[in-house]
Structure 1
Amino acid sequence: MPASLPPLNAVVAFEAAARLSSISLAANELYVTHGAISKQIKALESFLGCELFIREHRKITLTREGSQYLPHVQSALQTLNVATADLKQHNARSGNLSINVLPSLSIQWLIPRLEEFRSRNPRLFVDLSIGDFEVDFRRQHYDIAIRSGINPPEDCRHIKLMDEEMCLVCAPALAQELHTLDDLNRVTLLKHTSRPSNWRDWAKQAGVKLTVEEKFGVEHFYMLAQAVASGMGVALIPRFFIEPQLADGSLVIPFDIPYHSQYSYYLLTPGHLQSGDPDGRITAFTDWILELFAPYRLG
């Protein structure tokens, strides 16, 4: 440490007393005694070789040297304060972040994008697991979960990521057989087994009567996308989920009929924690994933 630097405690005591124009108030702010502040200021004056205050009965005023010194001290302390806060925030974003995500969302969509988050937060270890069960943050020790539902779950904090925009898709070869909506009754309808009303609701909006009995059900959207790509039939799948396949032509939209299901996607965090997010881990992931979902958000 260079010998020209004054003692930090003495500098802090001087700044508080000068700003408050009172040794007593400075002592209260710094949780020390009146005598301790006086001693620190005298030590600083001795170090500097000049007086910083004119001491009167129950009153102090800055000398010319003290008035010149004060703004430099305040600027230096502010710089040190900002640098310390930035470093603490950076170091806080280290450790583990446990995230539980819907299988379809994680396998097909999230995992290919996680490298970007890792590069932004290299000290943060992500523990990613999949599940579509009801989340209980008191029993399941996750920091974050992502779920879809008609309404957000209770007993947790939530942020709506997006509404679920669905599109009718099939393999290119099968699309050649579909000329009108009625032709859907000649092919297999592939359905998501946990969304049994999707085909009925879509048909009502599209104005078509579905009479086909040939159906095949799967549990997850990524399985549904694979079944469609193999030519097994047609399916309703969230548009964001199959954008790569639509772009490369492995899946096509034979009838582009806008349709939003009753479901929305939510980012969930524990509601029982009173401390919020003191180390910034949850905030770091939340800010990042909101950027990813921004193009899909309707409000």
Structure 2
Amino acid sequence: MPESFIPTIRELEAFCELARAGTTHLAARRVHLSQTAVSRSVRALEDRLGVALFVRQRQRMTLSDAGRAFLPKARRLLDDLNAAAVGVMAFGGQSTVLRIAVLPSFGRSWLIPRLGGFLAAAPGTTVDVAARLDPVDFAEEPFDLAIQRSRHRSGAAHHLHLLDESLVAVCSPALTGGLALSDEDLLALPLLQQTTRPTLWLDWFRHANLDSRRILRGARFDHFDMVIDAAIAGLGAGLVPEVLARGPLREGRLIRASAREMDSGQAYTLIYPDRAEEMPQFTRFRAWIRAELEGIWG
């Protein structure tokens, strides 16, 4: 077995605290060890790495060139380990975790407001939700499932169609006096742009056989939920998935700026690896989300 040069946690802690404090006395107090234990840990680390990490100057220990190079990496390792521990502790007494990657706007506007229903139906389960715009590599990443568009198809994964993406033009009622506009009139409004999908308005007016060069371009935003918020604030008209705008439309904070809809050619898709089918919490989630969508669209 090859020799290991990986430091112990105690060695890293002693090194980082001695670099901060400058004396073994102060470092020992901070890591709750004796001065001897701190000195031994630092010497062991130096022996392991084969370099001197400190030089003694009068009564203080200062970092050598090697020590200065190693310090930020050592701190990062300890910070990452602490963050990982805190992340696990956040699950509390829950023994079952479902790790979900989801499109940011779909997660914020649709999934999260409904997650309470799933958690009530799956006692003992908690969720770890992360926003992802890129395809998930289930062989390298710890996710149990992803909710993304059909273009995010992942190799060696299953793909379950959830719903087709239909786009609607929306705006604040104050912007149009509460009336839907013709496409000609819509061209006169500031049209809010979605940064990662910059051609949506071009496609909208191309389908209406209008010259898209006449578009009055508006502010740009990273995510659809930001476009929706900007439309509510009266900054212009947004072209967004109907499923994300349904709540503000129902509440009257938005109106349909046009009566028509546009099929984007994409669909929201549940993507998952083989291993997920062996997880009871996943099969519950799959049944739950299909029932939720059937209740809305059925």
TM (norm. structure 2) is: 0.63
Cα RMSD for the two superposed structures: 2.2
Using the TM superposition, give the Cα deviation of residue 226 of structure 1 relative to its aligned residue in structure 2, in angstroms.
0.5
1:181 corresponding residue in structure 2: 183
Using the TM superposition, give the Cα deviation of residue 208 of structure 1 relative to its aligned residue in structure 2, in angstroms.
2.8
The 2-side partners of 1:151 and 1:141 are apart by 17
Give the aligned residue type for 2:147: I
1:116 corresponding residue in structure 2: 117
SS across alignment from 1:263: strand
SS across alignment from 2:135: coil
Contact 1:191/1:217 (CA < 8 Å) preserved in 2? yes
- The one-character-per-residue Cα deviations of 1:213-270 (angstroms, maximum 9, x if unpaired) are 4332211111010111111111111111111111111100121112110221111111
1:11 corresponding residue in structure 2: none
SS across alignment from 1:167: strand
2:106 corresponding residue in structure 1: 105
Residues 179 and 277 of structure 1, relative CA distance in 2, 3 Å threshold: closer
The 1-side partners of 2:206 and 2:180 are apart by 19
Using the TM superposition, give the Cα deviation of residue 283 of structure 1 relative to its aligned residue in structure 2, in angstroms.
0.7
1:31 corresponding residue in structure 2: none
1:289 equivalent in alignment to 2:289: yes
2:258 corresponding residue in structure 1: 255
The 2-side partners of 1:216 and 1:150 are apart by 26
Q: Which moved more, 1:143-152 or 1:116-125?
A: 143-152
Counterpart of 2:220 (choices 217, 221, 224) is 217
The 1-side partners of 2:182 and 2:271 are apart by 41
Q: Which moved more, 1:125-134 or 1:218-227?
A: 125-134
The 1-side partners of 2:182 and 2:117 are apart by 43
The size of the alignment, in residue pairs, is 203
Using the TM superposition, give the Cα deviation of residue 94 of structure 1 relative to its aligned residue in structure 2, in angstroms.
5.6
Gaps of 5+ in 2: 1-93
The 2-side partners of 1:228 and 1:108 are apart by 15
Give the aligned residue type for 1:285: F
Larger radius of gyration: 1
* Matches for 1:22-61 after TM superposition, within 5 Å: none
Give the aligned residue type for 1:191: Q
Contact 2:134/2:152 (CA < 8 Å) preserved in 1? no
- The one-character-per-residue Cα deviations of 1:120-149 (angstroms, maximum 9, x if unpaired) are 111112112222122001111011111114
